[in-house]
Amino acid sequence: MLRCRQRILGSRQDNSSYLVGGLTTRLLQAREEAWRDPVTSPGFCPNGMNRLSMGTQGTRERLAGTNRRFHFGTEEILQLCAAATLAILGAVVIFVVKGAVGSLLSMDLESAVIVTAAANSLAIAAGAVIVALPVSLVSALYITELAPSKPARAIWVTVRLMSQVPSVVIGLIGLVWLTSREPSSAISPVMAAAAAPLLLALIIYPRFTSFLVEHLRQIPASLRASSYALGASRWQTIAYTVYPAARSGIAAAGFFGMGRAMGDTAVVLVLWQAFSGGNLIQEQSQRLFTLPTAIAVTAERGWHHSEVFVMALLIMIFSLVFSSLGRRFTQRHWRGKE
């Protein structure tokens, strides 16, 4: 190992006669210092960065080269970071799964509540996506394909600014909207449940739109240009060129939006707290009783302790399924290659 380095070094010294000038000598000197004592050489790669290598050369070879028992390079530190992240995230998953398995084994679950909550969650989220997705698609097409630059920019900025609106605020708006005409006692939970998807749509519309705009911008301009060059009208270009290329993005947005709308807590929770009368037994109020609401309410009031984890596991599984389905449509194949 050391010998072969010296061979490289020696051969370079032999061949370096054609490299002239003091500068070159300095560069070579610096390299030689690094070779001689790779760990402590001053002025040359003080933190051992350029000893890092890649590809076929693994940690073992580098260990052998530095004559140190514990070589701690950048790669190892980054590896530790990744391992720590995975450990923390793994702990989160294990915590939920363990709790859920424990509850399932204890056999005193009210499974009806869980099933109802899951169904409510799915229904409300699907409603939100059905409302928001077409509007977002239209907006995204308007921004990228149709609008003059100034209105497009105005809408784009609005959408971007509103894409992280806190959901409690939307909950407040929903409350105000529903109680604007009649007192809250007159509002049935069914009505509130019908309003929930609209409110959630308000939350996911900006996200959908910015996601779809980013996706449509990825479509190369040459694709559109060649469509126009073949004599297609603007509508034909949208219908036959832009839309097919955007289809995967629309599907991905739909799945991501489902996950997002299902996971949203505060909007439905605020409505549930306001309109259910706080009575879990009431049949009708269960329309608003989504998984996150159920988790928050059960935790808050100390009911059905065991069901919390099962519902959390359920929402985790739903979220994972939706995000992996969404990711399948936005898969990138490029990875640091030429």
Partner 1 sequence: MRTRSRRRLAAGAAVYSSIVLTTWLAAGILLLLVGYLVFRGLGPLAKVIKYGVFANSGSALLPIWFRTLYLMAAAALLALPLAMGTGIYLSEYARESRLNAWILGAIDGLAKMPPIIYGLLGWGALAPRLGEGKTALIVLLASAIWLLPQLSTMTYAALQDVPGSFRRDSLALGASRWQTAWRVLIPYARRTLAAKVLEGMARVGGEAAPVIMIAAAWPSSYGQPPTTLPYHLYSSLVGSVGPAASHHFGTALLLILTSICLQGAAVQLRRIDNDLTGSVRDWERGRW
Partner 2 sequence: MVAVTDDKLVMRDLSVYYGGFQALSSIDLSIPAGAATAVIGGSGAGKSSLLRSLCRMNELWDDVRTEGQVLLDGQDIYSPGVDVTEVRRRVGLIARHPYPFPKSIFDNVAYGPRVHGIRHRHELDEIVKRSLKQAGLWNEVKGRLQDSALSLSPGQKASLCIARALAVQPEVLLIDDPAYNLDPVSVAKIEDVILELKQQYTLVLATNSMQQAGRVSDYIAFLSEGFLVEFGPTSDVFARPKDRRTEDYITGRFS
Summarize as ranges the residues that interact with partner 2 (CB under 8 A).
1, 4-5, 7-8, 11-12, 14-15, 18-19, 21, 23-24, 26-28, 30-31, 34, 43-45, 49-57, 61, 64-65, 335-338
State in angstroms the smallest separation of the CB of 44 from partner 2. 4
Residue 199 interacting with partner 1 (CB under 8 A): no
Exposure on the CB side of residue 276, measured as CA atoms within 13 A: 23
Residue 225 interacting with partner 1 (CB under 8 A): no
Question: Which C-beta is closer to partner 2: that of 2 or that of 186?
Answer: 2
- Token look-up 């936005």 returns 330
State in angstroms the smallest separation of the CB of 173 from partner 1. 6
Cα–Cα distance between 56 and 147 in angstroms, integer? 52
333 binds, among partner 2, partner 1, none (CB under 5 to 8 A by kind): none
Phi–psi pair at 10, nearest 5 degrees: -60, -45
Question: Which C-beta is closer to partner 2: that of 51 or that of 160?
Answer: 51
Of the candidates 177, 187, 197, the one whose C-alpha atom is nearest the C-alpha of residue 120 is 197
Residue 324 interacting with partner 1 (CB under 8 A): yes
Q: Which two tokens stand for residue 167?
A: 């959901």
State in angstroms the smallest separation of the CB of 70 from partner 1. 18
Q: How many residues of this chain bind partner 1 (CB under 8 A)? A: 97
Per DSSP (E only), the strands in the chain are none
Of the candidates 259, 166, 253, the one whose C-alpha atom is nearest the C-alpha of residue 214 is 253
Contact 256, 163 (CB under 8 A): no
Span between the terminal Cα atoms of the chain, in Å: 32
Question: Which C-beta is closer to partner 2: that of 49 or that of 77?
Answer: 49
Q: Collapsing DSSP states into helix, strand and coil, what is residue 279?
A: coil
Instruction: Considering only residues 115 through 174, tell me which ones interact with partner 1, judged by CB under 8 A.
Output: 135-136, 138-139, 141-143, 146-147, 154-155, 157-169, 171-173
Measured at the CA of 79, the angle between CA 77 and CA 80, to 5 degrees, comes to: 65
Listed in sequence order, the DSSP H helices in 107-148 are 111-141
Cα–Cα distance between 330 and 14 in angstroms, integer? 54
Question: Which C-beta is closer to partner 2: that of 332 or that of 337?
Answer: 337
The piece of 2-10, 33-41, 49-57, 109-117 that touches partner 1 (CB under 8 A) is 49-57
State in angstroms the smallest separation of the CB of 64 from partner 1. 18
Instruction: Considering only residues 255 through 284, tell me which ones interact with partner 1, judged by CB under 8 A.
Output: 256, 259-260, 262-266, 269-270, 273-274
Cα–Cα distance between 280 and 278 in angstroms, integer? 6
Instruction: Considering only residues 66 through 105, tell me which ones interact with partner 1, judged by CB under 8 A.
Output: 74-75, 77-82, 84-86, 88-89, 92-93, 95-96, 99
State in angstroms the smallest separation of the CB of 280 from partner 1. 15
Q: Which of 38, 127, 197, 292 binds partner 1 (CB under 8 A)?
A: 292
The piece of 10-18, 52-60, 64-72, 243-251 that touches partner 1 (CB under 8 A) is 52-60
Residue 331 gets the label, from left (phi > 0), alpha (psi -120 to 50) or beta, of: beta
Other CB atoms within 10 A of residue 39 CB: 11
